[in-house]
Structure 1
Amino acid sequence: MESVSFNDIFKSSILEKTTSFSIVDSMIGLAAAFLLGLLIYTVYKKTFSGVIYSHTFNISLIIMTMATSLIIMGISSNVLLSLGMVGALSIVRFRTPIKDPMDIVYLFWAIVVGILCGAGFIPLAVLGSILIGLVLILFVNKIKIENPYLLVIKYDEKSVEESVEHIVSRHAKKHTMKSKSIMPGNHHEVTYEIRIKDDDVGFLTNLSEMKGVQSAVMISYDGNFTA
């Protein structure tokens, strides 16, 4: 009969795993994830073109890069732990809506960099991050994109419609009617998607001063429209 010693009773699997754990490699991976997270932070701040800049979201990109690196380091040497981690992460639900598609790009970038740093592919993460950063800075800041606008006009008289169409076609490079509605009391509302010439919005004054026109409003348009 095999005897059980005192050491066998207090034997810890945690201590066994600690022997194969490299503090130096882990610190290098985390440091690389932090520095590349700072690069993502800087590029996001320089290329942000929205209305309200979220500093907390930008900070979360650094934390996400480091946290992803930690996860990869933890599961890289243990298959059972990796399966358990996948199951645990599958129940996580993010409730914060992401309205700008570019924010998803930065989140995916941070996750990829964290995976590469945690797996030890630091040179690949550095090279890829530099190239992605240059592409984002070039295309977001240097290349001018002609954004369309929505022009919403409310008027009372049917006879005004032709004059409105004439002014819009004369001052816009391109215009398309998106919707038109007639409300009780013979009130009309028409919505155009337009691209204006040289950012000239002076024709809004002419539209608003026309007899029969109640209001003329032009708003920025990102391509999504719900009638």
Structure 2
Amino acid sequence: MGEVLNFQDIVKKSILHLEAFRSVSYVDMILGLLCSFAIGMFIYWIYQKTFRGVVYSYNYNVSFVLMSMLTALIIMTISTNIVLSLGMVGALSIVRFRTAVKDPLDIVYMFWAISAGIASGAKMYPLALGGSIIVGLVIIWLSKRKVKEQAYLLIVRHTEEAADQLRVELRKLNSKLKSKTVRKGFTELTVEVMMHDDNTAFVQTISELKGVNDVSLINYTGDYAQ
């Protein structure tokens, strides 16, 4: 008489013998790592060519390459055994990253690297390569689009003697007052100026006003200034 299996045994055997949970061969491991490395280097090149932030970070850019390869390794590891996959999910759930990412586009690059690593580790090489090429072309196209207006911060330090003339000059610009600091002997204004081109002649005009101590014009992109 054959062995009688209960519902729990049937579910256990059906899960543990899924076709998806098989050992990873050396060929699959090498192909997955090579694919993730190639895509990581492509992300590295795209990020370097399209970077528009304040300070370029080589270490941050290199992390995309390593992130793709490590994600591929994780996917290949959890695809061999359901117990390992559950344990990996539990281990990764307690990891917390405290580094603040101010530029939303940097988060996109992170997700791109992780997605490429997942696809490479899951042996979906055409999807990983083709999808990365399309995403890279879209980023290049968007980075080359001309921005109609750019925001700048105009910082003026002046005395009360220049207050009236400075007010007249600022009315000529597409400006908005951001902050005003009054100290003994001088006042510091921070004004947002929207510019359509690189014509900064107004900076020289304001600096020549009587009572103006110094003028600074800074490119402003959200949380960044350069």
Instruction: Tell me how far 1:93 sits from its aligned partner.
Output: 3.5
Partner of 1:194: 193
What is the SS of the residue equivalent to 1:92? coil
- Does the Cα contact within 8 Å between 2:150 and 2:196 map onto a contact in 1? no
Instruction: Tell me how far 1:197 sits from its aligned partner.
Output: 4.4
**1:160 equivalent in alignment to 2:190:** no
**1:176 equivalent in alignment to 2:183:** no
Distance change in 2, residues 1:62/1:25 (3 Å): same
**1:108 equivalent in alignment to 2:111:** yes
Residue type of the alignment partner of 1:181: T
Residue type of the alignment partner of 1:209: E
Residues 70-85 of structure 1: matches in 2 within 5 Å? Answer: 70-85=73-88
From 36, 39, 44, the equivalent of 2:42 is 39
Partner of 1:7: none
- Does the Cα contact within 8 Å between 2:157 and 2:189 map onto a contact in 1? yes
Q: In the aligned structure 1, how far is the partner of 2:223 from the partner of 2:99?
A: 20
Residue type of the alignment partner of 1:163: Q
What is the SS of the residue equivalent to 2:216? strand
Q: In the aligned structure 2, how far is the partner of 1:119 from the partner of 1:219?
A: 46
Residues 182-221 of structure 1: matches in 2 within 5 Å? Answer: 182-185=182-185, 187-221=186-220
Residue type of the alignment partner of 1:178: K
What is the SS of the residue equivalent to 1:98? coil
TM-score by length of 1: 0.80
What is the SS of the residue equivalent to 1:31? helix
From 143, 146, 149, the equivalent of 1:144 is 146
- Does the Cα contact within 8 Å between 2:154 and 2:192 map onto a contact in 1? yes
Instruction: Tell me how far 1:130 sits from its aligned partner.
Output: 1.0
Q: Deviations over 1:129-160 (max 9, x none)?
A: 111100111111x2122320111112211x63
Residue type of the alignment partner of 2:60: F
Q: In the aligned structure 2, how far is the partner of 1:114 from the partner of 1:58?
A: 16
Instruction: Tell me how far 1:194 sits from its aligned partner.
Output: 0.4
Q: In the aligned structure 1, how far is the partner of 2:222 from the partner of 2:68?
A: 31
Q: In the aligned structure 2, how far is the partner of 1:43 from the partner of 1:135?
A: 11
**Identity of paired residues, percent?**
48
What is the SS of the residue equivalent to 1:94? coil
Instruction: Tell me how far 1:96 sits from its aligned partner.
Output: 4.0
Partner of 1:26: 29
What is the SS of the residue equivalent to 2:53? coil
Instruction: Tell me how far 1:20 sits from its aligned partner.
Output: 3.1
What is the SS of the residue equivalent to 1:148? strand
Q: In the aligned structure 2, how far is the partner of 1:44 from the partner of 1:57?
A: 10
Partner of 2:52: 49
TM-score by length of 2: 0.80
RMSD between aligned residues:
2.1
Q: Deviations over 1:4-58 (max 9, x none)?
A: xxxxxxxxxxxxxxx8332222222222111111211111121122343222222
Mark the runs of 5 or more structure 2 residues left unpaired by the alignment: 1-21
Q: In the aligned structure 2, how far is the partner of 1:191 from the partner of 1:45?
A: 32
